[in-house]
Amino acid sequence: MKVLVSGGTGLVGHYIVEELLSAGYQVIIGGRRAPLSRSFSRPVDFARLSLDPDEDHIGAFDDAYLFVHAAFSHVEGKYRGGEGKDPKAFRRLNLDGTVKLFEEAKRAGTRRCIFISSRAAYGEPAPGTELVETKPPAPETLYGQVKLDAERSLTHLSGPGFAGVSLRATGIYGDRSPNKWDDLIDEYLRGEPVSQRAGTELHGRDLGRAVRLMLETESARISGEVFNVSDIAVDTRDILSPIRHHANCPFPLPEAADKAGLCPMNTEKIRTLGWKPGGMSLFEQTMRQLAEKKMVPRPSSTQV
């Protein structure tokens, strides 16, 4: 079965594509440029696709029975604040362009559409507030508002023959390079001060598994729905501790950050469908892998 994945070469999209390939799906990468050869573990097809709402991309859906929309236009390295100095273009591409793709997918006969949304749709509630899908969203950033408006458009389009579902994902980490924590790790290894921070995180592979679940679950159980997708809470000390150990780094770790003020995402809704993330064991495994890439040779005790 063929799945069109927009943004499949990005940090988030790559994990989704690899999960689908491992499950036997035929994947079509939708983007402005074809992926480099050997970008993925198995062969993929390519269809030209963009977020420009003035362009017609309905032909990209000709062979796609399923659509995963992970593409997003933003200032490099930023999602919140990703509009930079051009909020109008940011909204035009990420909302108008996204809705246009949803409409084209439905018109082309695509049966299912999975939208990668964000916890930013909730806004910033009081510290310690549990985020459940029934909580009224109140985004405080343009990024969050655009994601929320796109969710609502997909829900409106959903119906018999076209099942749309949105996944509100928290911060994505993983073992691919470049990695979201590369700068933090490099600063620490150079002995530079690093700030204390705590956040909720989700491995990219677990997001990929959530996408796959949405493609394989009975449509009546997911159509028009929103699902939280989140896993663990970690801080800067958690991230750097295995780096310090495996890279033989002499610099002290930062103090632990206060995690009590985090707003955890309740994931019971998607767990009832069979989703189970990797938890701390997957985080620890991933950090060991990242540490090995940053390893500094240990000094030899042999005198010459």
Mean pLDDT of 279-304: 72
Strands, sheet with 163-169, edge to edge from the N-terminal-most edge strand: 45-48, 26-31, 2-6, 66-69, 112-118, 163-169, 225-229
Under CATH, which number does the domain 2-174+203-229 receive? 3.40.50.720
What gap in Å lies between CA 41 and CA 21, rounded to an integer? Answer: 8
**Given pLDDT bands bounded at 50, 70 and 90, which one contains residue 195?**
confident
Q: What is the per-residue pLDDT for 298?
A: 43
- Which helix (H) or strand (E) is 237 found in, with range? helix 236-246
Q: pTM for the full model?
A: 0.93
Q: What is the per-residue pLDDT for 303?
A: 36
Sign of CA dihedral 122, 141, 223, 282: negative
Q: For the chain, give every domain's residue range.
A: 2-174+203-229
**Given pLDDT bands bounded at 50, 70 and 90, which one contains residue 300?**
very low
| pLDDT tens digits for range 203-244 | 999 999 999 999 999 999 999 999 999 999 999 999 999 999
- Cβ neighbors of 240 (< 8 A, separation 6 or more) are 184, 185, 188, 194, 253, 254
Above 90 in pLDDT, residue 291? Answer: no
Strands, sheet with 198-203, edge to edge from the N-terminal-most edge strand: 171-173, 198-203, 232-235
Above 90 in pLDDT, residue 296? Answer: no
Q: What is the per-residue pLDDT for 252?
A: 94
Phi-psi region of 231 (alpha: psi -120 to 50; beta: other; left: phi over 0): alpha
**Given pLDDT bands bounded at 50, 70 and 90, which one contains residue 302?**
very low
Q: What is the per-residue pLDDT for 292?
A: 84
Q: What is the per-residue pLDDT for 83?
A: 67
**Torsion on CA atoms 226, 230, 236, 238, rounded to nearest 10:** 180
